[in-house]
Structure 1
Amino acid sequence: MRADAARNRRRIVVAARELFAERGLDVTLDDVAAHAGVGVGTVYRRFANRDELVEAVFVDHIREVTERIESDIADVGPWDALALLLNAVGEFVADDRGLATLLTSVDHSAPVLEEAKQAVSRLVEGVYGRAREAGVIRDELVETDFFGIVCMISAISEATESVAPGAWRRYMELLLDGIRADGPRVPLAVPALTAEQIQELDSRKHVRH
């Protein structure tokens, strides 16, 4: 892609991200073009429809989250890396409701998402693997539990942010305390979600929207 085309594409994605965060997904490509300061034809040359633009914005979110977390955990121990990972995801979801909207609206089977999702998976696997090997998390905790943790934090953030901004952090602290290896624990009565179940949930979300 030529440099000017790449710059225009970036302007379009940034503009769409701002509009999605402010107004939800109920915006048109014309709206995005106006906000980006480019012609409508420029937007349509880069993105055939709104779904393609939504996917591009979601990929941009994923890369930003991944890069920030990788930088934050570079020089910390296994437990601190896990806590930083979960808190960073919580911050992104809580501070930018556009991300939460995209998370439940994008087609998670879209090929354009695969590379970004694999990068996230590798990050989670690495942090989880270090924590497990160091013995700082409960034996019952598995990688797919992180999906549930993120969903819980997203839900409590959405429910409380208008009246108690940042309240999600209290529940993150409770969750972190619950997954530590040390201290007395109540046995987990329900098994963790499987990867197949999470994939099915993602598919249902896309169908609803």
Structure 2
Amino acid sequence: MFQIKDLVKTYTPKDAEPVMALRGITVDFGETGMVFILGKSGCGKSTLLHVMGGLDYPTSGEIVIDGKSSKDFTKEDYDNYRNTYVGFVFQEYNLLPEFTVYENLAIALQLQGKKGDKALLKEYLKRVDLEVDEKRRPTQLSGGQKQRVAIARALIKDPKIIFADEPTGALDAKTGNDILTLLKSLSKDRLVIVVSHDEEFARTFGDRVLEMSDGLIVADSAAS
């Protein structure tokens, strides 16, 4: 079970008034399924994803993971949560351009304390419907291919939750549709939370849609 309770996030810019990006958000999530967080730019949806994913800390409130509150987390607990429990997929892919696709995945394996040969790396790529030459670098791939590599990298953790921040934002409509179809298939056995501004994608692929405005959840519904 994954819950967020009364999450507040306030930023205090230098020489400016404090900005409350999250205004006390409470949501219970299931163990599987695809949930979209929908809203216009500046509504707080990416901030919410970053706080839920442990990339940023709440000003107040808590994340509850399998009954354990983030209020009781040590730095080591947060590191463990980010490194093993959740996976991330970003709009800009965040692949290492100086390494090959296979090396990018191998580095992710090493960070998990795992060892793997080329056959295992190929298997991860197969899971995201991608075949590439072992010498190919991310700069030689299309946007859709890069995003598939990023998803394969996230799967190396075998995460219980995948957080995807505008995963189709840099892609054309058809490729975006393909990437969301892939994420939808992965949501059968894990929770996938997608931040998006695209209502059509959210209604098409989401099992649930949370709509945000001004740091608040203003609607929570099953997609139709």
TM over 0.5: no
More strand by share: 2
Q: Which has the larger radius of gyration?
A: 1
Give the TM-score, by structure 1 length.
Answer: 0.26
Structure with bigger RCO (C-alpha 8 Å, 6+ apart): 2
